[in-house]
Amino acid sequence: MRDERGHWYLLTGFVIGIVLGLVYAWLISPQQYQDRDTSPASLQPEFKDQYRAMIASAYVATGNLPRAEARLELLDDDDVVRALAEQAQRTLGEGNSPLQAQALGLLAVALGQGESALIPTSIPNETAAPDQTSNTPQITNTITATPDESTSEIAPANPSPLSTDLTPQATRTSNITATPLPTRTPTITPGSPFVLQENNFVCDTKITGPLIQIIAENSSGQQLSNREIIVTWEEGEDYFFTGLKPEIGPGYADFLMSPGVVYEVRMAGGGQTVPDITPAECETQSGRRYWGSWLLVFSRP
């Protein structure tokens, strides 16, 4: 009897073999190669936050910015500075770990400015980092503070709640420059109290929500990060820090107001209190209403 089935059985056997091999490699025993890919980038989001917070705490302890950069690189964030700043905001909002938020903010600012003048370096040995050795990724990109130019319409203080005059009276252009901070300490530097330089109501459709926007500067106009701002209202008090949004400015901070609430704002450590800050609306020429914001510029003389 002559076999007329041809060689299809060979193809069938090959396909069966491939399927068996893949099932074994992907399902039954992926452990052999699992170790290759379990980098911090594969962590669950909450563990990534924890890992990022740990990096910030270690940075605050050692002041070793290159090592912190190399570690952050492992998390594979699209925008490292933004990820740090957002986590700092979240942590601050939760209110249970202000020191952690401060550490995250300090690292964000240091990375944004490309230098580590904030923290005194206690362990200068950079070659000690295990993630800077040949078996771990090297830093391949440079993180720089990209100037983020935003133009806002600034209206005079004490506007009418429904101001229809959208003609800009002044134009503010914020430029972020990678200027070294004036101090080496992460805490508030004692000195003369801040005084209010500007108090403007801003109508800008790009700003979402009624914000109190703060800019802290020194006498030469250089923005100051890590300055505490205290906001009080009838039923409560909150505080926040400049520098947690380095993409806007190292001395910038903002606070989301609740409609109908009257706030008082002051810089920590004494200084001028700005009373009667309350959300107010703006209106476009087409009649659409939106929340305006208060821009307060504090300066240390």
Partner 1 sequence: MRRWIWFFIVVLLGVGFGLTYGWVINPVKYVDTTPAKLRSDYQTDYVLMVAEAYQAEGDLDLAARRLAVLGDSPPAEIVRQAMILAAQIPYADSDQELLSILASEFQTWSPNPGAPQP
By beta-carbon proximity to partner 1, the closer residue of 58 and 268 is: 58
The answer to whether 231 and 238 are in contact (CB under 8 A) is yes
- Quote the tokens at residue 45: 């989001």
Residues 6+ apart with CB under 8 A from 66: 126, 129, 132, 139
Contact characters 113-152, partner 1, x per CB under 8 A: ---------xx-x-xxxxx-x-xx----------------
- Quote the tokens at residue 121: 């370096």
Among 1, 4, 36, 158, binds partner 1 (CB under 8 A): 36
Q: Binding of partner 1 at residue 288 (CB under 8 A)?
A: no
Among 2, 26, 220, 286, binds partner 1 (CB under 8 A): 26
CB of residue 96 to partner 1, shortest distance in Å: 9
Q: Binding of partner 1 at residue 44 (CB under 8 A)?
A: yes
The answer to whether 243 and 223 are in contact (CB under 8 A) is no
Distance CA 301, CA 294 (A): 22
Distance CA 98, CA 91 (A): 7
Give the interface segment with partner 1, choosing from 29-37, 159-167, 206-214, 219-227 (CB under 8 A). Answer: 29-37
Contact characters 217-246, partner 1, x per CB under 8 A: ------------------------------
Give the interface segment with partner 1, choosing from 24-32, 80-88, 197-205, 232-240 (CB under 8 A). Answer: 24-32
Size of the site for partner 1 (CB under 8 A): 55
Q: Binding of partner 1 at residue 50 (CB under 8 A)?
A: yes
Q: Binding of partner 1 at residue 112 (CB under 8 A)?
A: no
Among 1, 2, 3, 173, binds partner 1 (CB under 8 A): 3
Q: Give me the sheet containing 162-163, strands edge to edge.
A: 162-163, 281-283, 289-291
Q: Residue 192: is it exposed, middle or buried by C-beta count within 10 angstroms (0-12/13-18/19+)?
A: exposed
Distance CA 42, CA 135 (A): 18
Q: What sign has the CA pseudo-torsion 19, 21, 24, 25?
A: negative
User: Could you tell me whether strands 195-203 and 293-299 are parallel, antiparallel, or unpaired per DSSP bridges?
Assistant: antiparallel
CB of residue 187 to partner 1, shortest distance in Å: 14
Of the candidates 123, 105, 108, 112, the one whose C-alpha atom is nearest the C-alpha of residue 61 is 123
Interhelix angle for 98-113 vs 45-62, to 10°?
A: 70
Q: Binding of partner 1 at residue 74 (CB under 8 A)?
A: yes
Q: Binding of partner 1 at residue 71 (CB under 8 A)?
A: yes
CB of residue 128 to partner 1, shortest distance in Å: 3
Q: Binding of partner 1 at residue 10 (CB under 8 A)?
A: yes
Q: Where on the chain is the footprint of partner 1 (CB under 8 A)?
A: 3, 9-26, 30, 32-40, 42-44, 47, 50-51, 54-55, 57-58, 60-62, 71, 74, 122-123, 125, 127-131, 133, 135-136
